[in-house]
Structure 1
């Protein structure tokens, strides 16, 4: 049995895209998907393509026996294995010896909370399951932590979605393979275009609260987006489509995009999209003339649809994916941490505009083979 875990919920349409495309690549609709937010997954129809299981962490009552045992282990060893087993009881009760378990968070090892991932993986291995780190990006400096390094070395299979992660992980786990993110294979659904959308002449923009907070100055990143919109208006006759890709309560792209829309709506050049599932969003992104995005899977939707794309990135995944596609991340990825000039995003767009035709032709020539490589992961998993 295949089990997908570390899935945060489909309100992040990148997470949704990973789940949908993983099931497509594995070609198996009997997959168990353990979700931290089942309601979101039902809303976007994930329950129609898999066995959806609840993996919302249970709270442990302060002062209870479970709390005491977990606290003692943490004080004596620094580990949180018992606490995690109590919190994730449903997960461990519904996974069985011999199962293949795919950690599908993608970039979970780029953020805080890695010790919880390690504890979950340890418990699954104690149940004699095969563990797979699926379509991952990992910040190389994390490998300086011995506990994380040991955890990663124990996976039965790792599929790294870009070469920076691959080069780092293959040194500690010989079962590491370089394979594009499964979301490159995601199907698209083309809904009717909204009023104001110009066919073949609409430029998509995605922004996120996360990208604002990742910069040295949140106001400067927002100002860079404002200047980008002004630059598009002054240098093209295109419509600008503001496209959200994550709608979590505490991390909702619509908050940032609505602010930008309100500031520029009087120009008559902007369209603000609502919330759709990841395949429908890909349908809109695929019909953009160009795309400027902050969310990784929004840009994957653009790349895989051969749309010339500029990425505003904050981690190894953006740089690595661009390098694998173009041979370099220069001109294709703008690092938000290093963005001190608020004209950087506008300048990046002008370069994209200048090279639009050649970029589209290049993507059209190489992307079919690149997407096809994503299917290689299925055979590797089934060999387990």
Structure 2
């Protein structure tokens, strides 16, 4: 019996890496039971994906340049594309033909505006080959459910495991309720490894900070997000004895956390209390984040690493997933998530951090109370997957 994991990014996004690592652990699968599809298989080798090379499939989604160009123009002029898009789905044939189930495990593929049409193409290919698909550990932006085509696509999954309640409730309300369940993100079950600490990192007295280029693109007013992080770092350095660790969690070309973090490092390095962490695998990065006193981050799986390590965490959020996860952990996203799109000044992040700083014992106690059961619930997502397999 084999499983295919697809629709996930490469492991240079350590959230994507955390997903495949924790999924193999939850489902208790060996590398020889997996086909893993990646847009850059060499990245999987770099970060230790154990799947053998003959099961590591390059997932190159090919689209017609002409069709894309025509549809881009027509969408601006009349609000829709003129030519139906077609995708090369041939690379799915080998893994799908040998798999009992296929897990679409890119958790936020339905989060950013109109969902990619290639997801629906993959679903159709799986249906043609008789392979049930699972939307695994997902968030779905409620606004995309206004599109009937996306609702139909979602209804075609044999199983959906929503990772937070805002998505779960939105799916049910849209009629995507055939086999839809609520389980926490699988990465809450990820292990951690402690590696060498960056110079200047003080365990238990360092604030971990993660900034992504994505939030800089989504901010309402240009420069607002970085201004908020500058104000936060300045306050910490001037008013506390805590150190700062700038921690990248995605190092994709064109979407590399190290670029904005390097800017911040250059501005504050002279303090002697700011360090810039090196890139590493997700296990080592979680080990580093887990030794922080606080964490302030943009990348979802960097914040999941912090939450699951019982580190009081503030999220510079940009989609339903940040709000939903915070709500499920604390009963509200207030004080825990600052939406990037709503930043208008330079102190929104600092004000939220000051609340977290004053309430750190209460927040940490809450995480210590809820996290064991939360991880158990995440691991229980194995049950409906195996029921799906056994029912074939």
SS at match of 1:95: helix
> Quick check: 1:103–1:131 contact (8 Å CA) kept in 2?
yes
Q: 1:17 to 1:113 in 2, by over 3 A?
A: same
Quick one: distance in 1 between partners of 2:309 and 2:353? 19
Contact map agreement 2:110 2:141 (CA 8 A) in 1: yes
CA distance in 2: counterparts of 1:331 and 1:48, whole angstroms = 41
Q: Are 1:38 and 1:52, in contact at CA under 8 Å, matched by a contact in 2? A: no
Which position in structure 2 is the counterpart of 1:321? 325
Shift of 1:239: 0.8
Given the alignment of the two structures, is residue 105 of structure 1 paired with residue 106 of structure 2, yes or no?
Answer: yes
Distance change >3 Å, CA 156–CA 78, structure 1 → 2: farther
Secondary structure of 1:33 counterpart: strand
- Separation in 2 of the partners of 1:149 and 1:348? 36
The answer to whether the Cα contact below 8 Å between 2:111 and 2:139 also exists between their aligned partners in 1 is yes
Within 5 Å, which residues of 2 pair with 1:124-273? 124-170=126-172, 171-273=175-277
Kindly tell me: are residues 282 and 56 of structure 1, through their superposed partners in 2, closer, same or farther at Cα, counting changes over 3 Å? Answer: same
Structure 2 Cα separation of the partners of residues 126 and 309 of structure 1: 44
Partner of 2:44: 41
Q: Which residue of 2 aligns with 1:331?
A: 335
Residues 51, 380 of structure 1: alpha-carbon distance in 2 compared, 3 angstrom cutoff = farther
Partner Cα separation in structure 1 for residue 189 and residue 63 of structure 2? 40
Partner of 2:18: 17
Decide whether aligned partners of structure 1 residues 15 and 52 sit closer, same or farther in structure 2, where only a CA change above 3 A counts. farther
Q: Please, which moves more after superposition, 44-53 or 30-39?
A: 44-53
2:74 is matched with none
Alignment correspondent of 1:28: 29
Match of 1:66 in 2: none
Q: Is the 8 A contact 1:289 1:307 kept in 2?
A: yes
SS at match of 1:265: helix
* TM-score normalised per structure 1: 0.92
User: Which has the higher mean CA deviation after the structures are superposed, 134-143 or 108-117?
Assistant: 108-117
**How far apart, CA to CA, are the structure 1 residues paired with 2:17 and 2:374?**
21
Contact 1:33 1:50 in 2 (8 A): no
* Contact kept in structure 2, 1:206 and 1:292, CA below 8 Å: yes
Alpha-carbon contact 1:2-1:102 (below 8 Å) kept: yes
Q: Closer, same or farther in 2 for the Cα pair 1:36/1:341, shift >3 Å?
A: same
Q: Structure 1's 195 and 89: CA in aligned 2 closer, same or farther, altered over 3 A?
A: same
SS in 2 for 1:334: strand
Q: Give the TM-score, by structure 2 length.
A: 0.90
Confirm or deny that 1:376 pairs with 2:376: no
Please say if residues 4 and 95 of structure 2, whose CA atoms lie closer than 8 Å, have aligned partners that are also in contact.
no
Partner in structure 2 of residue 4 of structure 1: 5
Say if 2:36 and 2:51, in contact at 8 Å, map to a contact too: no
Q: What is the alpha-carbon distance in structure 2 between the residues aligned to residue 367 and residue 51 of structure 1?
A: 38
327-336 or 350-359, which moves further after superposition? 350-359
Q: Shift in Å at residue 92 of structure 1?
A: 2.1
Cα RMSD over matched residues?
1.9
Q: Secondary structure at the match of 1:218?
A: coil
Of 128-137 and 192-201, more deviation after overlay is shown by 192-201
Structure 1 200/227 Cα, relative in aligned 2: closer, same or farther at 3 Å? Answer: same
Structure 2: runs of 5 or more not aligned? 67-79
Once residues 50 and 312 of structure 1 are traced to their aligned partners in structure 2, the CA distance between those partners, rounded to angstroms, is 37
CA contact (8 A) 1:97 1:129 kept: no
Please tell me whether the aligned partners of residues 232 and 238 of structure 1 are also in contact (alpha carbons under 8 angstroms).
yes
Residue 360 of structure 2 corresponds to 356
- 1:47 to partner: Cα distance: 2.8
For residues 211-239 of structure 1, the C-alpha deviation after alignment (integer angstroms, 9 at most, x for no partner) is: 11111123111111110100111221011
Q: How many residues align?
A: 369
Structure 1 CA distance for aligned equivalents of residues 144 and 203 of structure 2: 44
1:173, distance to aligned residue in structure 2 (A): 2.4
Matched, 1:57 2:57: no
Q: Structure 1 residues 95-104 or 38-47, which shifts more?
A: 95-104
Q: What corresponds to 2:122 in structure 1? A: 120
* Match of residue 291 from structure 2: 287
Greater displacement, 233-242 / 95-104: 95-104
